Chain A
């Protein structure tokens, strides 16, 4: 059974005054507006950090109530920063089971109402407790990954700067991105240290935001061609190589096999670049380029809108913003917009036929790959 995305809804990512349910409802309503009055029989909702005043326990029923979807079925998912990817895969599985006809998938996060220290601690909940006990944070472990990557390929931090410059250049074309201003390599290189070699502009920001889309049975301009997931050791010290995420490699292999496609047929990718070295590692793990080749993609413009394979035309997590649970779905939504010809100012130069979205939980602990393709012609 085949499914396809028939509508995408998103709001602006960044610091927003609204609460979690309001943000989710805004994106959801925009997605619903795109399909007229057709009934939704499944709501899949995801969020990671909601608690306390946000009423996380009732996130799905509160959202269903706001959207008058009380007669639908509902599923709530959570896979840390990969929640959006998991929400999308869950909806596909549900429709493919034959039990449902049309699903609304929503992923949202509210983050800017807490201090950076609190958010840092909450995000660290996706790491292994023994590493958190040492005071490890997401940026700290990402810094160790970055250093290993730089060492292995004998690179300088200039490649990290180039990846961030790319992200911000793409985001500047996306009206829904958190950052509307491009940055120079010098600005990145002189931004304040977070966990060296990572500086502030090498890191994704703290963001509010939501993404929604409607998924239906059938084929269209953004048809689901393949899905894959991969898991890896939660404890970073149990991994033998930090310059590659095994979970992405497994997910990509499964997705390519289920789509009956190879990496060479992918025209555009959205990857989960929570930190600038991750974007490079991801395109290598997805097979878009070979091991150690990714820096050239960002330094020579091969990842640009008119490049060999455009990478993160939305601005990615670093440029678009990172409301953690929403990012994985925003990546799928961006690929759908590109395929449907609705990407506007950030549309890739050559009309794509196949696009790939990648989402990641924690430090590559549970990764999701989604391949979409045009099947309307």
Chain B
């Protein structure tokens, strides 16, 4: 499997083995504030996805969200662009400002 050109920035705790989504907070597992950023392939497996028929104020419906698992069990919540992906589909993710986005169309990670 070739590594895709796209990467995403994740955090590695310097005290415990945890890998997590970067945030202003400490390590979600051990509470350490010492972490290091690293780049990971921006491909993840869809754990669950939903479509909000009536999204929160300020969003246009239907609004689709997916819980995506990246390598090393790091999870993120992504806005889905396009159709709702099925569970276990592999999707490309990217960061856009403060949010993450996933392409709705599944891709074949082996190509």
Contact = CB atoms under 8 A, between A and B. Distances in A.
A117 B56 contact: yes
A147 B100 contact: no
Interface in A115-150: 116-118, 120-121, 124, 130-137, 139-140, 143-144, 147-148
B28 A134 contact: no
Contacts of B55: 135, 137
A266 to B, nearest CB: 31
Nearest to B79: A134
A137 B52 contact: yes
A194 B63 CA distance: 11
- Interface residues of B, dominant DSSP: strand
B77 A136 contact: yes
Interface string A236-274: 111010100000000000000000000000000000000
B28 A238 contact: yes
A242 B76 CA distance: 13
B13 to A, nearest CB: 12
A130 B95 CA distance: 12
A237 B75 CA distance: 5
Contacts of A133: 98-99
A117 B52 CA distance: 12
A130 B23 contact: yes
A151 interface: yes
B62 to A, nearest CB: 9
Contacts of A238: 20-21, 28, 75
B63 A135 contact: yes
A140 B99 CA distance: 16
Given A134-B77, A134-B100, A233-B28, A195 B57 contact: no
B48 A144 contact: yes
**Which 6 residue pairs of A and B lie closest in terms of their CB atoms, listed nearest first?**
A238-B28, A143-B50, A147-B48, A237-B75, A117-B57, A144-B48
Given A130-B98, A135-B56, 9 more contacts: A133-B98, A137-B55, A143-B50, A144-B48, A194-B53, A195-B50, A195-B52, A198-B50, A237-B77
Interface of B: 20-21, 23, 25, 28, 47-59, 63, 65, 67, 73, 75-79, 87, 98-100
Interface of A: 116-118, 120-121, 124, 130-137, 139-140, 143-144, 147-148, 151, 192-198, 233, 235-238, 240, 242
21 contacts: A117-B56, A130-B98, A134-B77, A134-B99, A135-B52, A137-B52, A137-B55, A137-B56, A143-B48, A144-B47, A147-B48, A148-B47, A148-B67, A151-B48, A193-B53, A194-B53, A194-B54, A237-B77, A238-B20, A238-B21, A238-B28
